[in-house]
Amino acid sequence: MRYLPLTDADRNAMLATIGAPSVDALFSDVPAPARLAAPVDLPTAMGEIEVERALGRMAEKSVSAGSVPFFVGAGVYRHHVPAAVDHLIQRGEFLTSYTPYQPEIAQGTLQMLFEFQTQVALITGMEVANASLYDGATACAEAVMMANRLTRRRKVVLSGGLHPHYREVTATHARFLGFALHAAAPAPNGGEDLLALVDGDTSCIVVQNPDVFGHVRDYSALAEACHARGALLVVAIAEVVSLGALKSPGEMGADIVAAEGQSLGNALNFGGPHVGLFATRERFVRQMPGRLAGQTVDAEGRRGWVLTLSTREQHIRREKATSNICTNSGLCALAFTIHLALLGDAGFTRLAALNHGRAVQLADRLGGIPGVAILNDHFFNEMTLRLTRPAAPLVEALAEGRILAGVPVSRFFPDRPDLANLLLVAATELTTDEDIEMFAVTLDGALQ
């Protein structure tokens, strides 16, 4: 029997109190295409055994990333997660902990967050980092809003190499907060002139490194030019392992870094949950969103940890909050911290080198196939291929042959037919020689 605690009279009374004509009216802000016209076509009730069997049959239709050659990236990457990570994050004191509303009682949680912040600051080359955000896309939007507050300007320039999901999340915030977005066109070949879009109202330029097409660049000159015009440089990073090999955003002169930390400690998980990384300069710390855990000493001189900043202030002065983001991704941040601690500095650098090496091997093999051109002069572990045929049907055909060949660029830019032949492919330390050869042979055959 379904559990329905409210009667029709109860619902009508509640609707009358808030002035809504119906329950459906409560969902008016949800776009019609996102709403179901009828209940999902599933049985209304089944026993536990029957549910397990039904879900098992549904799961068999999916192809797991570890069971086939896998070259999908585009913002989420398949890396090896040490067994120690899952073992440790499933300890009860970590698995059941939540947002520390009485933080100093949760010394273990605060120490973990402090270690996490230290790691993020070190690998990004920045001075201070927060206790994590939801994911890279929301971190990017928060970085833009922070730049608006710092500069008191309302125009934002987005690179054409910024991940489309990051762009869309930022655009959603812009729509409701009333700041202007000037997004450059997709630049699969690079060469965009972002400074030409900067004027006296520009708060920041947002770039990504490596960008969504896999290009690697040094943005030091752009940072200097931004600062000369009173604007800030925001660097987004979708593949955090790249920081083990590339010049850090801090070294380039970035003011704010917004990154996705999924690659360390967190499996693909069908697209989530993820963990957003956020770092900045110390002089900007008061405008940083989220929380900041700090180190101190108690009355007896013993080391301890405190919640130094809690800038959202939802529970006190919501209208004055720096950010109304609700919580940090604590368990995913813990997984990140454990994985990076296990690697250490040398291991992190070695992991990045393995990724780049595999990508070079992939580029060398695919670049020799007739009908395949690689657009990248410099890349980390991901690149863009230009094919002689539309990429989306090829990806579907290769998937039928149990090869997950990458992400068609047309999936992100369906209104750009000139990008239909572009394919994003990624390689990591888990990519094998056999995977690369199978992909190359099958792709070669499909293009003939």
With residues binned 3-state (H G I as helix, E B as strand, rest as coil), the percentages for the chain, rounded to 5, are: 45, 15, 40
Burial (CB count within 10 angstroms: exposed 0-12, middle 13-18, buried 19+), residue 214: buried
pLDDT at residue 265 is higher than 80:
yes
Model pLDDT, residue 310? 75
CATH number for the domain that contains residue 225: 3.40.640.10
**What six digits make up the tokens of 440?**
């190359």
Q: Kindly state whether residue 41 falls inside one of the protein's structural domains.
A: no
Residues 115, 198, single domain; the answer is yes
- Name the average pLDDT for the chain: 93
pLDDT digits (tens, 9 = 90+) for 12-30: 999 999 999 999 899 989 9
Model pLDDT, residue 37? 86
Hey, CA dihedral for 149, 173, 383, 422, is it positive or negative?
negative
pLDDT digits (tens, 9 = 90+) for 293-313: 999 998 999 999 998 887 555
User: How much is the average pLDDT of 334-342?
Assistant: 97
- Of 307, 340, 373, the residue at which a domain comes to its end is 340
pLDDT at residue 391 is higher than 60:
yes
How many CB atoms sit inside 10 A of residue 281's CB?
A: 16
Q: Kindly state whether residue 373 falls inside one of the protein's structural domains.
A: yes
- Of 314, 340, 366, the residue at which a domain comes to its end is 340
Model pLDDT, residue 323? 77
Residues 153, 284, single domain; the answer is yes
Residues 105, 210, single domain; the answer is yes
Give bridge partners of residue 232 from the DSSP assignment: 204
Residues 76, 108, single domain; the answer is no
Residues 317, 206, single domain; the answer is yes
Q: Kindly state whether residue 53 falls inside one of the protein's structural domains.
A: no
Q: What is the biggest distance separating any 2 CA atoms in the chain, rounded to whole angstroms? A: 75
pLDDT digits (tens, 9 = 90+) for 38-74: 888 888 788 999 999 999 998 998 888 999 999 999 9
Residues 396, 309, single domain; the answer is no
Of residues 39 and 317, more confidently modeled: 39
pLDDT digits (tens, 9 = 90+) for 229-238: 999 999 999 9
Give bridge partners of residue 386 from the DSSP assignment: 373, 422
Q: Kindly state whether residue 164 falls inside one of the protein's structural domains.
A: yes
pLDDT digits (tens, 9 = 90+) for 172-186: 999 999 999 999 999
Q: pTM for the full model?
A: 0.90
User: How much is the average pLDDT of 262-283?
Assistant: 95
Residues 311, 408, single domain; the answer is no
**How would DSSP label each residue in 220-269?**
HHHHHHHHHTT-EEEEEES-GGGGGTSPPHHHHT-SEEEEE-TTTT---G
Count: domains in the chain: 2
Report how far residue 18's alpha carbon sits from residue 316's, in angstroms, rounded to the nearest whole number: 24
Residues 289, 414, single domain; the answer is no
Residues 90, 186, single domain; the answer is yes
Q: Kindly state whether residue 63 falls inside one of the protein's structural domains.
A: no
Model pLDDT, residue 95? 81
**What six digits make up the tokens of 66?**
């570890």
Q: Kindly state whether residue 101 falls inside one of the protein's structural domains.
A: yes
Q: Which residues contact 295 (CB under 8 A, 6 or more apart)?
A: 114, 303, 304, 305, 306
How many CB atoms sit inside 10 A of residue 372's CB?
A: 19
Residues 353, 437, single domain; the answer is yes
The band of 189, judged by pLDDT with boundaries at 50, 70 and 90, is: confident
- Cα atoms in the Cβ-side hemisphere of radius 13 Å centred on 149: 18
Q: Kindly state whether residue 73 falls inside one of the protein's structural domains.
A: yes
Expressed as residue numbers, the domain containing 73 is 68-80+345-447
- Of 286, 310, 340, the residue at which a domain comes to its end is 340
Residues 147, 248, single domain; the answer is yes
The band of 100, judged by pLDDT with boundaries at 50, 70 and 90, is: low
Q: Kindly state whether residue 241 falls inside one of the protein's structural domains.
A: yes
pLDDT at residue 314 is higher than 70:
no
CATH number for the domain that contains residue 401: 3.90.1150.10
Residues 250, 386, single domain; the answer is no
